[in-house]
Amino acid sequence: MVEHSGLDIMCLNKYSPASSSSSSSNAEKKLFSKLKVSLTKKYPQKNAETLSAQYGTNLLLIGVSVMLALAQHGPAVKEEHLLAFITALMLVQLVWMLCYMIRRERERSPVPERDAHAGTSWIRGGLTMLALLSLIMDAFRIGYFVGYHSCVSAVLGVYPIVHALHTISQVHFLWFHIKDVIKKYETFERFGVIHAVFTNLLLWCNGVMSEAEHFLNNHRRRLTALGYANLSTGVCVSVCVSGQ
């Protein structure tokens, strides 16, 4: 009977509330340690995602602010300032793409890991056609600068050259590196991709603003020719023509 009662006491102690609470606390500690380790590992990635998003948003806000200031035709901001800012962004993107391609060639493995579902052929073909049209526009801009180089800023000549180089480099990058799987320097590559995306977005905004301004100027000229309005639109052009 004594041994039997001792066995009962041991069994009761095994399933007592104190032992169950200690086991639950150990489980909570293990769960907390696992969560802490996972959060510690993911913190640099989450931090880089947040900082890169803020960086891209700031680039967009600065560029749009300069465009809006230029649209007011005030003396503080001129077209040369906007083109210089966009040219600097394109040069930074060119440096990033060059660094990426050099490092990729040095670390090339016999069987590189690539994403087969990224960058379909029709998307790359469409982007190539747009790049060809952009190069034609750059050729016209260079011709305009050559004809009026004595009375326009040098930025108007540097911008189309850098833009043409930027367009060709982007097409090469999209054709040969769009399927790359990045496993090293993820933060650097993330900032580079964000910079490239918002640089192209600002280029698109600048093109839309320029075409809209040209359309409005042509509309005003037609109204002036019909006698409905008397508005001056080509101050810079008239000075440039008179200077020659």
Q: What is the pLDDT of residues 7-18, one digit of tens each?
A: 444 444 444 454
The model's confidence at residue 231, banded by pLDDT at 50, 70 and 90, is low
Question: Max alpha carbon distance in the chain (Å)?
Answer: 123
Distance of CA 179 to the CA centre of its chain: 18
For the whole prediction, is pTM greater than 0.95? no
Phi, psi of 114 (to 5 degrees): -135, 155
Side-chain half-sphere exposure of 93, counting CA atoms within 13 A: 27
Apex 177 CA angle, 171 and 179, nearest 5: 120
Residue 215 has pLDDT above 90, yes or no: no
* Tokens, residue 135: 């190069």
* Non-local CB neighbours of 160 within 8 Å, separated by 6+ positions: 137, 138, 139, 141, 142, 145
The model's confidence at residue 55, banded by pLDDT at 50, 70 and 90, is very high
Q: Are 172 and 104 in contact (CB under 8 A)?
A: no
The model's confidence at residue 220, banded by pLDDT at 50, 70 and 90, is confident
| Rg of the chain taking only CA atoms, in angstroms | 31
DSSP 114: B
CA distance 16 to 178: 62
The model's confidence at residue 234, banded by pLDDT at 50, 70 and 90, is very low
H helices present in the chain, as ranges: 2-14, 17-71, 79-106, 121-147, 155-177, 186-226, 235-243
Instruction: Classify 1 as helix, strand or coil.
Output: coil
* Non-local CB neighbours of 107 within 8 Å, separated by 6+ positions: 184
Q: Are 68 and 157 in contact (CB under 8 A)?
A: no
- pLDDT, position 52: 86
- pLDDT, position 26: 66
Residue 174 has pLDDT above 60, yes or no: yes
- pLDDT, position 28: 63
Domain locations along the chain: 2-205
The torsion defined by the Cα of 20, 25, 28 and 29, in degrees rounded to 10, comes to: -140
The model's confidence at residue 39, banded by pLDDT at 50, 70 and 90, is very low
Higher pLDDT, 175 or 13: 175
Q: Are 13 and 19 in contact (CB under 8 A)?
A: yes
Q: What is the mean pLDDT of the chain?
A: 77
